[in-house]
């Protein structure tokens, strides 16, 4: 086999580096540096892509939150700046109001319910920033109506926010009838309030009044009217009875009369109110006609005249005498008695003096000064519950039961 010369691996024994080897080393180092720079640049670009993708995702989520409806209970209420009533003038005005009271618990505010006309009015007044609160509004009402009672001409008076200058707001009768002065225009009170009031409560008109005007004490007369089907009622007798007593339904506060009060009507508001009432009337009129036709259909039903249907000639229900007229029964509250008894002939509750005499005779109380007990003087007072209980063995102080109010027939 041929012999090859061997070389030592010791660097000390290697020959000196030539010029060609030095150039190759420099090229290698330069290539390594460029590779590091490229890797660094790639990493930077990847980080930039991630950052842009994150930003794009956040923008999409934000747009979705703005477009989607907010979940209940998670809505952040915008902080509202408190309204500065001191920066605005005020004036004393009267408002003419109509309402259908069938669905309300009366006109005046009550502690146990917020379903009253007055509560709805002040909710609208405060929402529109026409008043700050009821206590500082100098508020008066002409009359209060009970549960279920409606009104066509209820009147209230109070101080409302005004756009007019100081001289105009103090004296409502200054200037022209529109409540305007040069360069000034008063707020459209009826338009503002009707936009937020329930549809069955309408402000019809407003009037500028003097600062000392009161809807309650300045009223000259109030007119109430009853609306009911005539049927077989004695209207003349009812008219006489209505002078001394009133019922809740269908009573209506028809009008309130004042001296020198000029109501201002807004044409746009008037058109809206008339349209609304016409639509409401048409709705009920159609329902009424449907019921009328149903009754007409029942009038054609054949009915037996005798107790035995087979042995009697049938007669149409509409031809039966006397005709059945029960329209008014729907307006009468309470349970109808089997036999009618006049009001003044019905049992009456005992008065205070009768109750005092009762307890004096029973020995419960002493005879008050100036009260005549009457009756048999020899009558001994019966044994009281207190004395009876005190004799029982083991009994302490007996608790006397309060007396019950009893109705008696004084015939």
pLDDT tens-place values along the chain, 411 residues long:
444 444 444 444 444 445 556 666 677 777 778 888 888 889 889 888 988 888 888 887 776 665 555 555 555 666 677 877 778 888 999 999 999 998 999 999 998 999 999 999 999 999 999 998 899 899 999 988 888 889 999 999 999 999 887 655 544 444 444 444 455 788 999 999 999 999 999 999 999 999 999 999 999 999 988 887 777 778 788 777 776 665 545 788 888 999 989 999 999 999 999 999 999 999 999 999 999 899 888 888 888 776 666 667 788 888 887 788 777 777 666 666 677 788 788 888 878 888 888 888 888 888 888 777 665 444 444 444 444 444 444 444 444 444 444 444 444
- Note the pLDDT of residue 353: 85
CA 1 to chain CA centroid, nearest Å: 120
- Note the pLDDT of residue 178: 46
pTM for this entry? 0.57
CB–CB of 178/161 below 8 Å?
no
The C-alpha atoms of residue 164 and residue 90 are separated, in whole angstroms, by 8
What backbone torsions phi and psi does residue 47 show, to the nearest 5 degrees?
-65, -40
Query: What CA–CA distances, in Å, run from 47 to 42, 53, 54?
Result: 9, 10, 11
CB–CB of 237/264 below 8 Å?
no
Under the phi-then-psi rule, with left for phi > 0, alpha for psi from -120 to 50, and beta for the rest, what region is 394?
Answer: left
For residues 31, 35, 37, 42, the Cα torsion angle rounded to the nearest 10 degrees is 160
The C-alpha atoms of residue 265 and residue 40 are separated, in whole angstroms, by 81
Reported as type and span, the H/E element at residue 32 is helix 19-67
Which residues are annotated as catalytic?
146
Paired tokens of 205: 């008109």
The C-alpha atoms of residue 95 and residue 209 are separated, in whole angstroms, by 10
Omega of the bond leading into 365 within 30 degrees of 0 (cis)? no
**How many CA atoms are closer than 13 Å to the CA of 233, on its beta-carbon side?**
17
DSSP string, 59-114: HHHHHHHHHSPPPTT------PPPP-GGGSEEEEEEEEEEE-GGGSS-SS--SS-S
- Can you list the alpha helix ranges (DSSP code H) found in 255-361? 267-299, 352-361
Which residues 6+ apart lie within 8 Å of 213 measured at CB? 92, 94, 157
Nearest to 249 by CA among 326, 327, 332, 325: 332
Which residues 6+ apart lie within 8 Å of 404 measured at CB? none
Which residues 6+ apart lie within 8 Å of 69 measured at CB? none
CB–CB of 116/109 below 8 Å?
yes
What backbone torsions phi and psi does residue 296 show, to the nearest 5 degrees?
-65, -35
Nearest to 143 by CA among 265, 8, 256, 288: 256
- Note the pLDDT of residue 263: 93
> DSSP assignment, residue 16?
P
Strand partners of residue 160: 91
Paired tokens of 140: 């008066």
Strands 251-257 and 150-162: parallel
């Amino acid at each position: 086999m041929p012999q090859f010369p061997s070389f030592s691996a010791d660097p000390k024994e290697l020959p000196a580096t030539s010029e060609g080897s030095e150039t190759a080393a420099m090229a290698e180092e330069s290539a390594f540096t460029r590779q590091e720079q490229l890797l660094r640049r790639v990493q930077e670009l990847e980080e930039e892509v991630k950052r842009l993708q994150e930003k794009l995702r956040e923008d999409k989520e934000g747009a979705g939150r703005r477009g989607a409806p907010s979940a209940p209970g998670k809505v952040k209420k915008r902080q509202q700046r408190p309204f500065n009533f001191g920066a605005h003038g005020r004036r004393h005005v009267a408002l003419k109001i109509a309402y259908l009271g069938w669905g309300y618990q009366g006109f005046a505010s009550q502690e146990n319910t917020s379903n009253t006309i007055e509560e709805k009015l002040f909710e609208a007044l405060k929402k529109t920033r026409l008043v700050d609160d009821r206590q500082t509004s100098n508020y008066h009402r002409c009359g209060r109506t009970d549960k279920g009672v409606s009104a066509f001409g209820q009147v209230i008076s109070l101080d409302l926010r005004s756009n007019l200058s100081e001289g105009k707001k103090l004296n409502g009768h200054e200037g022209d009838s529109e409540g305007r002065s040069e360069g000034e225009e008063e707020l459209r009170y009826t338009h503002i309030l009707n936009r937020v009031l329930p549809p069955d409560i309408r402000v019809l008109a407003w009037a500028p009044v003097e600062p000392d005007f009161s809807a309650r004490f300045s009223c000259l007369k109030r007119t109430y009217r009853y609306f009911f089907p005539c049927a077989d009622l004695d209207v003349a007798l009812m008219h006489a009875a209505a002078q001394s007593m009133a019922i809740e339904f269908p009573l209506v506060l028809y009008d309130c009369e004042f001296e020198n009060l000029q109501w201002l009507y807004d044409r746009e508001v008037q058109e809206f109110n008339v349209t609304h009432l016409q639509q409401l009337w048409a709705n009920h009129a159609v329902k009424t006609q449907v019921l009328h036709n149903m009754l007409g259909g029942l009038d054609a039903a054949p009915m037996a005249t005798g107790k035995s249907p087979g042995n009697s000639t049938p007669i149409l229900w509409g031809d039966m005498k006397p005709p059945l007229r029960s329209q008014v029964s729907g307006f009468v509250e309470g349970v109808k008695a089997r036999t009618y008894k006049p009001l003044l002939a019905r049992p009456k509750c005992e008065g205070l003096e009768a109750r005092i005499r009762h307890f004096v005779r029973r020995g419960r109380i002493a005879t008050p000064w100036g009260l005549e007990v009457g009756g048999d003087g020899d009558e001994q007072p019966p044994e009281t519950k207190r004395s009876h209980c005190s004799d029982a063995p083991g009994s302490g102080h007996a608790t006397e039961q309060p007396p019950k109010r009893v109705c008696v027939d004084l015939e």
